[in-house]
Amino acid sequence: MLKQFKKRGFGYLFWKVRKYAGYRIRGYYYLLFKFSNAKGLKVGGKVKVRRDNQANFTFGNSITLQNKVLLHCYTVGESHLKPLIKIGDYSNIKSGVIIKALSGSVEIGRNVAIGHNSEIIAENAGIKIGDNCRIAAEAFIITNNHNYNDPNKLIREQGRSHSEVVLGNDIWVGRRSIILPNVTIGDGAVIAAGSIVTKDVAPYSIVGGNPAKLIKIRGKE
């Protein structure tokens, strides 16, 4: 920061101070009125929280919600599942991320980074992301899918299925990857950029492609 100040002058210093102060002030507002169980929360501009009286937010300490993050947490249809969004300590939710718990749950572990413009949508099922995961920009994780088995009925009339998605610890999900319902990804796995994951991924596997297939096991030649 000192090098940048010497190069750019007081304008740069003013911008940094204003940005930091804005994150802190918005953080205090959200602590007072929305997330009373969190400490050290930093909140960017234009963050939106939409919830109903069934919603449950559980936030750890020192979480960052960057600009234009959108959190939806509410009940849909006739489901009896209570919506939940849980984010662990030191996690960083980057700009433009959308997290929706629609009669479902999104549970994010400690020290997780979720990249810009990613979407995590849990409807009538749960999404669990373990500790120390890195999810790159524009990733997409979802729990529901259309049913289409009957060719004699319109797809829109066949309803949807809902299944849990589980990511273990220390996983790296590459940019623009898609993780579909009923998938479990083991600890230490790597998902190559642009992959579509339709089946379980074993621990420490590197997978890629559409659909994602095994490339190699980490640590083995």
Q: How many CA within 13 A on the CB side of residue 86?
A: 17
Instruction: Report the alpha-carbon distance of residue 90 to residue 88 in Å, rounded.
Output: 7
8 A C-beta contact, residue 31 and residue 61: no
Instruction: Report the alpha-carbon distance of residue 91 to residue 109 in Å, rounded.
Output: 8
Question: Which amino acid type is present at position 152?
Answer: N
Q: Does 146 qualify as catalytic in the annotation? A: yes
Catalytic residue among 72, 80, 116, 146: 146
Query: What is the residue-wise DSSP string for the chain?
Result: -HHHHHHH-HHHHHHHHHHHHHHHHHHHHHHHHT-TT-BS-EE-TT-EEEE-TT-EEEE-BS-EE-TT-EEEEE--TT--PPPEEEE-TT-EE-TT-EEEEESSEEEE-TT-EE-TT-EEEEESSEEEE-TT-EE-TT-EEESEEE----TTS-GGGS-EEE--EEE-SS-EE-TT-EE-SSEEE-TT-EE-TT-EE-S-B-TTEEEETTTTEEEEETT--
Q: Among all residues, which ones are annotated catalytic?
A: 146
